[in-house]
């Protein structure tokens, strides 16, 4: 059973990588049969291996014999751990190959408008549009509670200073 599953997985992997060459570098289009097929294949690779790992552990490995020895169980879990890491790498690779164009944020002014101007139109817009830099948000400054000694010194100094601010004639 495991040999058949391994052969089917290898064939599916090769087909999935072969499928990546169709419409490579193009964004997702729901009218494109190749992109829809890629989405279906990616969904399969996201869902099927974890379901297989669960099925294999609870129904094939444990089965009706619940008295499995500890070293064999550890070997099995180690194998599943390694397989899950390969599965994660495969899903990440397929996501990048199939839909990498959709994962990249386009910050050009045309991306926000959703239009592609001609080259002459693009040059005339560049001179007339003002670009604003992105807003920079700094983290708030930490609040430090004064110690008792420093607050006592401040209170004694407050009586000698004027309440309106710094002393006149100071630099």
pLDDT band at 2 (very low <50, low <70, confident <90, very high): confident
* Domain presence at residue 141: no
> How many whole angstroms separate alpha carbon 72 and alpha carbon 55?
18
pTM for this predicted structure = 0.52
* Domain presence at residue 108: no
> How many whole angstroms separate alpha carbon 33 and alpha carbon 41?
12
pLDDT digits (tens, 9 = 90+) for 28-68: 888 888 888 988 998 998 998 899 888 888 887 776 565 66
| Side-chain-side CA neighbours of residue 171 (13 Å) | 0
* Domain presence at residue 33: yes
* Domain presence at residue 128: no
What is the per-residue pLDDT for 59? 81
Based on the structure, what is the number of domains in the chain?
1
* Domain presence at residue 15: yes
> How many whole angstroms separate alpha carbon 53 and alpha carbon 51?
5
Q: Supply the range of the domain harboring residue 61.
A: 2-103
Give the residue from 88, 90, 84, 58 showing the smallest Cα distance to 73.
Answer: 58
């Amino acid at each position: 059973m495991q040999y058949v599953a391994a052969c089917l997985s290898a064939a599916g992997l090769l087909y999935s990588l072969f499928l990546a060459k169709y419409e490579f570098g193009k964004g997702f289009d729901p009218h494109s049969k190749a992109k829809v097929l890629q989405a279906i294949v990616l969904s399969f690779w996201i869902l099927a291996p974890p379901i297989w790992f669960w099925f294999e552990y609870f129904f094939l490995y444990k089965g009706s014999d619940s008295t499995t020895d500890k070293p064999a169980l550890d070997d099995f879990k180690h194998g599943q751990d390694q397989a899950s890491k390969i599965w994660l790498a495969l899903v990440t690779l397929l996501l990048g190959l199939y839909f990498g164009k959709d994962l990249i944020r386009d910050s050009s002014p045309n991306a926000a408008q959703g239009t592609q101007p001609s080259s002459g139109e693009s040059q005339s817009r560049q001179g007339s549009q003002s670009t604003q830099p992105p807003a920079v948000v700094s983290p708030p400054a930490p609040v430090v509670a004064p110690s008792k000694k420093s607050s006592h010194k401040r209170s004694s100094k407050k009586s000698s200073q004027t309440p309106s601010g710094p002393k006149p004639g100071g630099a």
